[in-house]
Structure 1
């Protein structure tokens, strides 16, 4: 058994003047799973995000004022940790971790405190939380990583379906290309071209996560294409110091 949701995120944190956070991400999911593109939620007007129509949560989104040209108050995104041997069908939806953070006014630190007793209710996840001040990576796995649950230092980061900055080929090469594009002041289209890379990793660089080898190869490209599963949406998020954020989507399936 294997599942995935928002499987590649690379970001620049407090490196670009006037833009504390720049995020490029791919959401990977089964094509049959219904979802909405990014929009302002009618039941939570401060949330700008896509929506999973099966469980009601989201894989990535912003909390902002839709009527004012003011900075985003929050950003959040989630990926799963690929560990099929640990998968539980009765676990809570990981998309709720994002939507609940965006619905409230808690800081990232306080919100994570509220999750301390709930981590076992979810299958493995990586959660990125920005609260206007700090950016925090938290996972209910990788407890021995000193960065887990702590504010991140400025830098370039990447996460897929393992720990933050894991040496998975798709993470390493996308981070390198992302950094190069930043240095070149590349246009928006270049970031989407980066996210659209369908070249798999060399077989010798594939991780062993407990799924068949051909699936490991399929899932090793930044942009995944198959008959039933793949990259559904590519997204670029810009959070500015002095104006409204941007969430730009390219819907693929």
Structure 2
């Protein structure tokens, strides 16, 4: 599974704050974040086997995107991100990206995916399993995992218990990352550090280690979009419980 946590319009100084873990086969090659040129350019890690972006940050109108594969579906392509490459999903706003996603699934067939698109003005969760479900996110903290988001989930036919476990992990992560009360208001940076602590804490079940070493958390990302137009991206090229986050110098 993968875990995406987003605090959207929670902090005045930073309308979008993302903390996410990527889980994958340990022998699947990947590349650290780098600039992908184009209009607009963006910064993203890369799946080196299939060429897809794992997540991105781009400057044009400050769009922020993250994807989560659902692990279901029956399309002739593996996932939206790994097969068609979100390089094709370039858009200058979350609203424009919505139109692009809707057009893409209308024109072709894909395996299941979750896709979160957010900027300062809008945030959407797209869930595709042969039918596209689009949810406009409300201001607050949201947690997306392979089987659903914010408490709504499906049970995989082969491993229904895994769906319930992931959903419970997501629920506990969301509860742990609720913003502090106004009397003890925390900053966006403080929340992001708290989110990083949760993502590396094995008690929440989202920093994954396979005893056989075949699968697990391969990387972790922290992204902040600030109200003044600045953005910063920190990346851990391994499980966050044992890998330090480092600033991504290649900013667009």
TM-score category by the smaller chain? 0.7 to 0.9
Partner of 1:231: 217
The number of residue pairs the alignment matches comes to: 214
- Cα distance in 2 between the residues matched to 1:64 and 1:154: 22
The structural deviation recorded for 1:151 is 2.5
- Cα distance in 2 between the residues matched to 1:154 and 1:191: 17
CA 1:35 to 1:241, structure 2 compared with 1: closer, same or farther past 3 Å? same
Q: What SS does the corresponding residue of 2:86 show, helix, strand or coil? A: helix
Partner of 1:114: 103
Q: Which stretch has the larger CA shift, 54-63 or 38-47?
A: 38-47
TM-score with structure 1 length normalisation? 0.74
Partner of 1:63: 58
Q: Which stretch has the larger CA shift, 151-160 or 128-137?
A: 128-137
- Cα distance in 2 between the residues matched to 1:82 and 1:118: 21
Partner of 2:246: none
2:151 is the alignment partner of 1:166: yes
Partner of 1:98: 86
Q: Which stretch has the larger CA shift, 128-137 or 15-24?
A: 128-137
Give the conservation status (yes or no) of the 8 Å contact 1:224–1:231. yes
Give the conservation status (yes or no) of the 8 Å contact 1:108–1:136. no
Task: Report matched runs for 1:1-253 at 5 Å.
Answer: 4=1, 7-42=2-37, 46-64=41-59, 73-83=62-72, 86=73, 90-95=76-81, 96=84, 98-101=86-89, 103-105=90-92, 107-118=96-107, 121-141=109-129, 148-166=133-151, 168-179=167-178, 183-185=185-187, 186=190, 188-199=192-203, 221-226=205-210, 227-252=213-238
Give the conservation status (yes or no) of the 8 Å contact 2:69–2:79. no
Q: What SS does the corresponding residue of 2:178 show, helix, strand or coil? A: helix
CA 1:192 to 1:134, structure 2 compared with 1: closer, same or farther past 3 Å? same
The structural deviation recorded for 1:110 is 1.7
Give the conservation status (yes or no) of the 8 Å contact 2:56–2:64. yes
**Structure 1: tracts of 5 or more residues without a match:** 66-71, 201-220
**Structure 2: tracts of 5 or more residues without a match:** 153-166, 240-252
The structural deviation recorded for 1:27 is 0.4
CA 1:133 to 1:98, structure 2 compared with 1: closer, same or farther past 3 Å? farther
Q: What SS does the corresponding residue of 1:224 show, helix, strand or coil? A: coil
- Cα distance in 2 between the residues matched to 1:28 and 1:14: 27
Partner of 1:68: none
